[in-house]
Structure 1
């Protein structure tokens, strides 16, 4: 790689991830950057692949501000495409790989990408989307495992795009953008817009907080830290898909440190393969998605898989329920690991951290991060113990929502001249910086004039013996306006009744917070990131005729269609 003068060589006020990764590749060219399915890709080779793909993108007219849609599960090609887009100032667009054709078409119409990269196994969705909206001018197809009758799909082989001569490194600015499309309470995707420098600033603690180093202030400092052989090497395994911020940002952070990113060989989450990968590759930093991922992992470990996961030093989750019992079970297998439960969102943060280093840290209580505050609806601080308010954050944050100034102004208010981000998460103040999570305000159940936060009820449900998973929501009711409704997954043979569940919740919470309707299901069909599609769940529930009773009603509810389950 040729050295290119960069405005960020002296300081990090103009940080750009491509510039940083280029510098890291020069510093540690022979170190393994990505390890996947029997292949080791060094930093030098990784940079060259991205530079060749960047040249192909430029040859097809892409440049600063162009969008590149990545419709893919975790693969080395995903990361290569991301790097190539960064190299030319283009904007990568994360697309949920579980989308069907209509959903993909909607996102393509919203983001208007100039290029689309996808694996052949998802050709059906791309073909369907192509009948609804025009596909981008450049479509690249990654060869992956497909069923025998899978269509070839439109586009040029991804491998052919790497035949171009490498694009020389360019001087890049800090204001190039990164889109993070996220679902919302409306179900319609919306893009949170980060700039490179704001995202990097927001990640400094996550990158360097666990290392015995000062936070770098220059690009030279960043590369010196990455090249140091005396520091513990970061080996990162993201189990949620990189289409979600938690996995993507942690992978990007690992690359800043000159670490190695490990990918599982298939799209479908396989807990046994994950445990084997931790042992085989000496994974130090494991990215999970709360109970949805940790539950199957500890089941494998508890079953006597014989795997050694003592290499783990950090296990991170963000924005998902991660119950104390699963934290305790995991820490028993990885006693040297620090479990970090991050209260964050695609809109910004982090707002709080729950940190567990051993059994003595349980029950886990989140503590406000530096720059986070709790505000009342009138945007004044909430300090009294026991009072409730909304989380807000005053640090580095996104520009807002793409093409949505009204929602941006609502979520990113300016208070006393300082910009805050407030996605709408409610908490109860516990004192000394600790808070109790209550849930997202948009999901609050208003029952008979009382407000119930689903997260508070879910926490109690998940603590009940025999309850494996649970979601709480509000359903319309002619008498109460809404009734608290619980959808619960129980362990085989648990034998829990609706009355028992209601009674147990009633012992811990006020009576109006008890579920008035209860559904027992085989599974909640969570996404690879651990999220539940609430709109689809509501449809499943409302298709079952339920009497409007105050007493709990148990109704059978068929498991989700297998096609909707995690790949």
Structure 2
């Protein structure tokens, strides 16, 4: 249902002048380049062309129909007083509603805040108090969470999707708003369209600001080498709150006038069936390594017709050699790439023609991207010398919402410091070899140990806590909590997992624990995680299941 309430919850609401300062905290270099309306363009040129096939609800929308939905959502914004610079949050599984909201924001100058539905209410509370949305759009599944978040964060209005039926509050709101006034905004590439929150190394999320320009340049950077065009039919299985789901390749496909096929959540058998179905006509697919692994382990993998796939992209985490080879044996060359939320995300891409001879590489810089691999002295590394990867270009974030200090520390001049260790071979191909930061990736989701460690310290009897990522056949990496206990205390894995599960998203919960007398530290007291990795991440170390 739609509710409007006055609450006592305290939420930070920036002054409009402060919003302008936040959205231009670093010069993006585009001047006054105007942002254009993609969906309106396709309405004028191919109104009857299928834009979105929403398999979760069995609905299909042409560009003309999608344009009408976007207009109705923009009119609904106006009825709520949501305008330029205001935030609209989405807490939902994949559906056409993501595109309704995103492109309505693009028309009105509002900013969409995409929420990870895996997070707990406590985790979402911080994000929503930081971004201060006026409207929260949510699935029925999250109605209880939405109500609690509305109370805690002072959100004026919530809108329930309820499965996309005509009787749902969401669809009724669109129907009522259709034909109403719209506060259209003239926007430039430097205006912020989306805020995507990434976990911070301090344990608090940071809202990466995604501008209209970043969206556009990602379409150019990624769409051209991925062969995205009017005839593209892209199967999206990643969550649309994630940059990989929204921008690899869904937004580039809508920019080009192709078709995006949505499933609510990934299922390996369903994905294979859709790819193999000639009536679906899937030409493009993108995922992190885990879905590729689950699909190749499915009994239908060997018999699925994969011949219509032109591009199968993989990114978000290092892809194991066995995954690459297994798909290659089925005639599919996985196109690897490197990117991050802050790069919108495409930055480096491995052309399928080089996939066989450069297995393990993420490729070369995309057309509108520059990179450096920098050594400890700030100089450029030579061939095969490991250093930190820095990137620059028009697709780089201007910074983090409400966090000028984090923005400042993330950049060296115009260069974004990725925190990833990389090397470049003598042909210019980039290989990601490790991460400077302690972050690890579990099933395509970034996990920052500091956040988990903060929760572990709440357990009675825990004197010291450190979390490291350890290899896992299914998820790529999982967390190992290394604990030193107070004298006489006892803690077991089940206790740790139950405690963490109440306070953290499932993918952040440590898969196992190790008890040590004391954590190794240097002279300044910093925990030496490299020694923990040597102890627990080795051929002789016990495997985490």
TM range (shorter): 0.7 to 0.9
Distance, in Å, in 1 between the alignment partners of 2:373 and 2:535 is 36
Deviation at 1:33, TM superposition (A): 0.6
Counterpart in 1 of 2:197?
A: 181
- Residue in 1 that maps onto 2:170: 158
Structure 1 position 378, deviation (Å)? 3.3
Task: Name the CA distance, whole Å, in 1 between partners of 2:291 and 2:90.
Answer: 23
Q: Does 1:424 align with 2:419?
A: yes
Aligned to 2:411: 412
Superposed CA offset, 1:195-236 (max 9, x none): 20233124312122344xxxxxxxxxxxxxx9xxxx661111
How far, CA to CA, are the matches of 1:15 and 1:436 in structure 2? 36
Which residue does the alignment assign to 2:337?
342
1:77 aligns with 2:93: no
Secondary structure of 1:421's aligned partner: strand
Q: Mapping of 1:5-404 within 5 angstroms?
A: 14-16=33-35, 19-37=37-55, 38-134=58-154, 136-144=155-163, 157-163=169-175, 164-166=177-179, 167=181, 170=184, 172-174=186-188, 175-177=190-192, 178-211=194-227, 233-249=231-247, 250-264=249-263, 266-267=264-265, 269-280=266-277, 281-290=280-289, 292-300=290-298, 303-304=301-302, 306-333=303-330, 335=331, 337-348=332-343, 350-357=346-353, 360-361=356-357, 363-369=359-365, 370-383=369-382, 385-396=383-394, 397-404=396-403
Aligned to 2:470: 487
Q: TM-score, normalised by structure 1?
A: 0.70
Runs of 5+ in structure 1 lacking a partner? 1-10, 147-155, 212-225, 445-453, 463-470, 476-480, 492-519, 525-531, 560-567
Give the number of the structure with larger relative contact order, counting CA–CA contacts within 8 Å between residues 6 or more apart.
Answer: 2
User: How many Å separate the matches in 2 of 1:34 and 1:209?
Assistant: 22
SS at 2:254 equivalent:
helix
Partner residue in 2 for 1:503: none
**Count of matched residue positions in the alignment of Structure 1 and Structure 2:** 446
Residue 89 of structure 1, CA deviation: 0.9
Maintained 8 Å contact 1:102/1:128:
no
Q: Work out the CA distance in 2 between the residues paired with 1:73 and 1:377.
A: 42
Q: Secondary structure at the match of 2:417?
A: coil
1:169–1:44 CA distance, 2 compared to 1 (3 A): farther
Question: Which structure 2 residue ranges, 5 or more long, are not aligned?
Answer: 1-29, 454-463, 475-492, 498-504, 519-531
**In the TM superposition, what whole-angstrom CA distance separates every residue of 1:127-154 from its partner, at most 9, and x where no partner exists?**
33244332x22211011399xxxxxxxx
Secondary structure of the equivalent of 1:46?
A: helix
1:536 is matched with which residue?
509
Q: Please show how residues 402-481 of structure 1 align to structure 2 within 5 Å.
A: 402-414=401-413, 419-443=414-438
Deviation at 1:309, TM superposition (A): 2.2
Partner SS, residue 251 of structure 2: helix
For residue 332 of structure 1, report the CA deviation from its aligned partner: 2.9
> Are the aligned partners of 2:333 and 2:355 in contact in 1 as well (CA < 8 Å)?
no
Change (3 A) 1:381 1:351: farther
Q: What CA distance in whole angstroms lies between the structure 2 residues aligned with 1:556 and 1:437? A: 24
Q: Output the CA distance in 1 between the equivalents of 2:220 and 2:381.
A: 28
